[in-house]
A and B are shown apart, each in its own frame.
Chain A
Amino acid sequence: MNTEFVPSLIHFFGMMLLIVSFWMLAAPQIGASIRAYATHSFLLALITAFIALTNHVEHLLIPAFLTLALKTILIPQVFFRIIRRLGIRKEIESYVNIPFTLLLAVLLVFVSFYVTGEGKVLKSVSFGEFIPLAVSTIFFGMLMMTTRKKAINQVLGLLLIENGLFLMGVTITFGMPLLVEIGVFFDALVGVVIMGVFVFKIRGAFESIDADDMTVLKG
């Protein structure tokens, strides 16, 4: 392969990754948010696969494939089933309106570039710009979890954090040992299924899936 072409392609994917995470935050509907998550995971799988191929760390291809299979296809499907069965078509409700969320997100990107800047603490094994991207993905996930009202959005935020951590692992260490990586995927999948069950239970008991309706327990 062309030595110039592949790195610039990976840079391009990195840019797309950031744009998609903005899309996820800005998406007006839950469906769009899930599609954004699927795209995010798809790009993550591509980036991982390219890093694996350019650096000849073939064992990294397995996590890349798992990201594709689980996070791009299976988990979004689970989500779509949940929202179909719950019959949600309403807009995403947020404590903070979307323009302001995006403003915060831009700030978070600056912060993540600042704190990780130029290998100050962490040195990457390849493509250093993914370190701040990973950190900002983690921040975006947290932003999503704290600002969204629907229980289901909180789960999406959690998954976004997970994606960020995965990218971080890939960038600084070529991913964790395979056994651990597979275990983490398994936990994520089981976690989504269990949280899905609980979203239904919340719906049944509270007649809504707004997390801020849950205020029975205090003190």
Chain B
Amino acid sequence: MTIDHILWTPLAFAFLCLVPCPKRTTRLTFMAGAAVSAIGAWFFVFGNFSGPRIFAFKESLMMDALSAVFVLLIPSVGLLSAIYAGGYLFKEGETGIPPAKLRRYAFFFHLFLFTMLLTVLSNNLGVMWIAIEGTTLASSFLVNVDDKKSSIEAAWKYLILCSVGIALALFGVILVYYSAVEQVASGETGLLLNWSFLLAKAKYLDPQIIRLAFIFVLVGYGTKAGLAPFHAWLPDAHSQAPAPVSALLSGVLLSCATFGILRFHILTKVATDSAFSDTLLIVFGVLSVAIAVPFIMEQADYKRLLAYSSVEHMGLAAVGLGFGGTLGLYGAILHIVNHAFTKSLLFFTSGHLYYFFHSKEISKVKGIFRKNAFLGTIFFFGVLAIAGMPPFSVFFSEFCILSAGFLAKQFIPCAILLVLLALIFTGFLRQANRMTFGETEKTEMPAKSFLMDSVLVVGMIVIVVMGFYIPRPLQHLLQEASRVAGGVVS
């Protein structure tokens, strides 16, 4: 088994899902595909992956510890999401979605997973760009499943804004290539965009061009990662997409774009030997957290509430990368992982909430706990987790990031962050309090399918356990990943 198997699995299943057959069979293929992708990725990362770097396809693809973390993350969240979608979108009966449309949905779902995996596995920065643009194209149809006015608007905004952003990132990629062509011996044109090659030769690259390139990449991929002030598409797309897709968008798509920024950040740091990119990441990160605050405090729509919280958490991850140091980088990567599981769990509960209350408005949702104690418990603890309450995993990674900030003597951004996080915490708690407790007419609702409830349970277990104990192999992988993020050429 090599790296490309990880990529072929979702691609093959994408086309398998297109085969015309009854809903039941499509559903089975759809869920089996996600399961096979996930299990394959786990086995590969924990079984075969040993060396610092594994290459494939003439070094265009590469797996190092950093990408290994994302290779674990993407299909895992993908699997949860596919199981949830299996119960959510594939329901039979008159209200169900027509089979042809479902097949298309399943196709784009797997294609989306494929493009995300390609993003994190590409060594060639140009291929990475193509893959990130591919994620936009593949997921635009997932955002708009019901063809409602608002969904179309969200999908259009998403397509246009992200495409423009990505176009700017292409300029950054061209600049990096230019600096390589300028400074490094020619004749190796095939290698010149390879990240591993560029990193090894980083000292010879023109620092000024690399700085310029980083700015373009930060704006470009930052649009995709939801960093403020380029996040305009994010709340719309996240609120209009079906719950399993929102979970994927928020949990892993944003992380993939952050991964793209991180690759360039490592390169910039080694090439310029300055804190230039650190400072930019901290500034945009803090700005993202700050912009999220008012929208979280005064939000009327619970899916948008979660979306703005994603802006906040991507900002925090960026800040962690900016603070740097072993602790900061470790914290940032761990934060991306924790956020992916916690936020996808919350988006799954939002699917349940919509089913129980038929509305996305917070004011219409009251007394979840009385209506369904199971959902109320999961939702309330999920909100506590995302707001950064101690026993849960997000608290731990936020703690790492802030400690790294204090270690790096970045007192001003740390102080600002602490205030902002406190505000967000109270905002979240106030909103969740009103939704979870409070009076409602006691109407017995039939529970959602067992499969979907079990997704919530699994998600909850993951975020609780990760708060106390990270399994040894994973811990090792995360530490190696933070070393890679620190620019260690091994």
B36 within 8 A of A: no
The residues of B that contact A10 with a CB separation of less than 8 Å are none
Q: Which of A71-79, A84-92, A103-111, A210-218 contacts B (4 or more CB under 8 A)?
A: A210-218
The residues of B that contact A123 with a CB separation of less than 8 Å are 182
State the Cβ distance, B141 to closest chain A Cβ, in Å: 7
CA–CA, A174 to B180, complex, Å?
Answer: 13
| A161-B167, A195-B159, A214-B156 known; A180+B304 contact, CB < 8 A | no
| A158-B167, A169-B174, A198-B140 known; A177+B130 contact, CB < 8 A | no
CA–CA, A179 to B300, complex, Å?
Answer: 47
Whether A217 lies near B209 (C-beta < 8 A) is no
Whether B164 lies near A161 (C-beta < 8 A) is yes
CA–CA, A202 to B159, complex, Å?
Answer: 13
Q: Which of B5-13, B121-129, B372-380, B394-402 contacts A (4 or more CB under 8 A)?
A: B121-129
For A169, give the chain B residue with the smallest CB separation. B174
Contacting residue for B130 out of A122, A145, A180, A195, CB 8 A: A180
What are the interface flags for B198-224 relative to A under an 8 Å C-beta threshold, 1 for contact and 0 otherwise?
A: 000000000011001000000000000
Within 8 A of A (CB), among B125-184: 126-127, 129-130, 133-134, 137, 140-141, 144, 147-150, 152-157, 159-160, 163-164, 167, 170-171, 173-175, 177-178, 181-182
What are the interface flags for A139-182 relative to B under an 8 Å C-beta threshold, 1 for contact and 0 otherwise?
A: 00010010000010011001001100100110011101101100
A11 within 8 A of B: no
Within 8 A of A (CB), among B271-319: 295, 299-301, 304
Whether B130 lies near A184 (C-beta < 8 A) is yes
Q: In this complex, which of A151, A172, A187, A205 has the most chain B Cβ atoms within 10 angstroms of its Cβ?
A: A187
A183 within 8 A of B: yes
CA–CA, A201 to B151, complex, Å?
Answer: 10
Whether A179 lies near B124 (C-beta < 8 A) is yes
Contacting residue for B147 out of A180, A195, A201, A216, CB 8 A: A201
Q: How large is the interface on B (under 10, 10 to 19, 20 to 34, 35 or more residues)?
A: 35 or more
For A145, give the chain B residue with the smallest CB separation. B164
Contacting residue for A217 out of B134, B160, B240, CB 8 A: B240
Whether A187 lies near B137 (C-beta < 8 A) is yes
| A154-B160, A194-B159 known; A180+B127 contact, CB < 8 A | yes
Whether A201 lies near B208 (C-beta < 8 A) is no
A219 within 8 A of B: yes
Contacting residue for B152 out of A125, A191, A201, CB 8 A: A201
A127 within 8 A of B: no
Whether A194 lies near B149 (C-beta < 8 A) is no
B196 within 8 A of A: no
Whether B152 lies near A198 (C-beta < 8 A) is yes
Whether A121 lies near B159 (C-beta < 8 A) is no
The residues of A that contact B152 with a CB separation of less than 8 Å are 198, 201-202, 205-206, 214
The residues of A that contact B349 with a CB separation of less than 8 Å are none
Q: How large is the interface on A (under 10, 10 to 19, 20 to 34, 35 or more residues)?
A: 35 or more
State the Cβ distance, A105 to closest chain B Cβ, in Å: 18
State the Cβ distance, A117 to closest chain B Cβ, in Å: 15
B192 within 8 A of A: yes
Whether B177 lies near A176 (C-beta < 8 A) is yes
Whether A201 lies near B60 (C-beta < 8 A) is no
Whether A177 lies near B189 (C-beta < 8 A) is yes
What are the interface flags for B346-370 relative to A under an 8 Å C-beta threshold, 1 for contact and 0 otherwise?
A: 0000000000000000000000000
The majority secondary structure among interface residues of chain A is: helix
CA–CA, A179 to B191, complex, Å?
Answer: 11
For A211, give the chain B residue with the smallest CB separation. B156
The residues of B that contact A183 with a CB separation of less than 8 Å are 126-127, 130
Whether B153 lies near A216 (C-beta < 8 A) is yes
B190 within 8 A of A: yes
State the Cβ distance, B24 to closest chain A Cβ, in Å: 28
CA–CA, A161 to B164, complex, Å?
Answer: 8
State the Cβ distance, A144 to closest chain B Cβ, in Å: 11
The residues of B that contact A176 with a CB separation of less than 8 Å are 126, 173-174, 177, 193
CA–CA, A67 to B182, complex, Å?
Answer: 25
Whether B193 lies near A187 (C-beta < 8 A) is no
Whether B126 lies near A219 (C-beta < 8 A) is no
Whether A187 lies near B159 (C-beta < 8 A) is no
State the Cβ distance, A91 to closest chain B Cβ, in Å: 22
The residues of B that contact A161 with a CB separation of less than 8 Å are 164, 167
For A193, give the chain B residue with the smallest CB separation. B137
CA–CA, A207 to B232, complex, Å?
Answer: 24
CA–CA, A196 to B13, complex, Å?
Answer: 26
CA–CA, A202 to B157, complex, Å?
Answer: 11
The residues of A that contact B173 with a CB separation of less than 8 Å are 176
A selection of 19 A-B contacts at a CB cut-off of 8 Å is A151-B156, A158-B167, A168-B174, A169-B174, A172-B178, A173-B174, A176-B174, A177-B192, A179-B127, A180-B193, A183-B127, A184-B170, A194-B141, A198-B156, A204-B147, A205-B152, A206-B152, A214-B152, A219-B235
Q: Which 6 A-B pairs have the closest CB atoms?
A: A180-B126, A183-B130, A214-B153, A217-B236, A216-B150, A187-B133
Residues on B facing A (Cβ under 8 Å): 60, 124, 126-127, 129-130, 133-134, 137, 140-141, 144, 147-150, 152-157, 159-160, 163-164, 167, 170-171, 173-175, 177-178, 181-182, 189-190, 192-193, 208-209, 212, 235-236, 239-240, 295, 299-301, 304
Besides the known contacts A142-B164, A165-B174, 14 further A-B residue pairs in the complex with CB atoms under 8 A apart:
A121-B208, A155-B160, A168-B174, A173-B181, A177-B126, A177-B177, A180-B129, A183-B126, A184-B126, A195-B160, A202-B152, A216-B149, A217-B153, A219-B304
